[in-house]
Structure formats: structure tokens, C-alpha cells
Amino acid sequence: MPIKASTPSSVLLVCLGNICRSPTAEEIFRQQAAIAGLAMKVDSAGTGDWHIGHAPDVRAQRHAKAHGYNISKLVARQVSADDFRKFDLILAMDAQNLADLQVIKDSISDTDGKLAKLALFSEEDPTYSGDDVPDPYQGDSDAFEEVIERIESSAQAWIESWKTA
């Protein structure tokens, strides 16, 4: 279900540990939104708690930097119930994280109907529509390159969808 709505003022990008995909997506999304002239808050988090307080994976940092993205200062954190009130849109890197986010959202009292909308990160992307952004953590260099390619494509697709909405 596409979310072609007005441009959100805040977007949260979510993966499992918040050390590979979502911090990379945070910086790519932030840069692409700025280039498009969209003023929005962009952040990232993980559904798991294993890496809270850690910097992004060094391999993710190295590949991001090679593409002009500096993620070295980002710090992993876990999604909180409060995020569903602070953000307009929460984008999950894969179907499992989307399902986990839906469980959290369903557990929150929504008396005013203002909880964040949830969607798969690739939802608006005609190239990767409905596909997971694969977790590169157990992969090789090519896996991290693929993540950057997919994230750039899907971030641009979201921005284009808001420009044409």
C-alpha cells in the first residue's frame, strides 16, 4: 500500500542492529533530502539491542565513505515506543523488521491517531519494490556495495514520490 502523502517532517530508518543498513540509509536519505530541498528530521534505529551505543560497522563506514557518506559519528540505538510519536514515517529495511515494528506500534495506545506510518524502505522504488535491503553483516564487500546501491535507489524513489504527490 503506497504512502503517497504529503512530505513527512520526520523519517526514522530501521534495521536489526542499527550498525549497517539503517545508519547508511540515514546519511544517504539526509543528503538526498537536502539536495531535493526537503527539510526533514532523519534518524535511524534498530529493533535489536545488541549494538546500542556503538558506532556503525567499520565495513559499512568504509563503503559509505567511498561513496561520499560519512556515518562514523552515528551511534546505534534501539527503537522506542516514543519514536512512533516523534516520527511521521518509519521505514523498515526488511519485512521482518517491518513486522517487528508493527508489533510495537500495535502495543501503543493511539488515542489521537498520530502514530507514525510504517512502510518497507523499498516500497516506492520501482527497481526494488517490495524487496528487503539485504543485511550485509555476514557478507563480503559486495554485500555492502549492494546495500548502498539499493538505499540510494529507494531513498530517491521516496523523495520523488513526495515531489509528485
Residue 1 has pLDDT above 80, yes or no: no
Q: Are 97 and 132 in contact (CB under 8 A)?
A: no
Nearest residue to 145 via CA among 15, 20, 55, 12:
20
pTM for the model stands at 0.95
Q: Which three cell numbers stand for residue 152?
A: 540510494
Q: How far is CA 163 from CA 81, 90, 126, in A?
A: 29, 19, 16
Exposed / middle / buried, residue 17 (Cβ in 10 Å: 0-12, 13-18, 19+): buried
Active site residues: 15, 21, 135
Condensed to tens digits (0 to 9), the pLDDT of residues 107-145 reads 998 877 789 999 999 999 999 999 999 999 999 999 999
CATH 2.30.30.100: does it fit domain 19-164?
Answer: no
Condensed to tens digits (0 to 9), the pLDDT of residues 149-163 reads 999 999 999 999 998
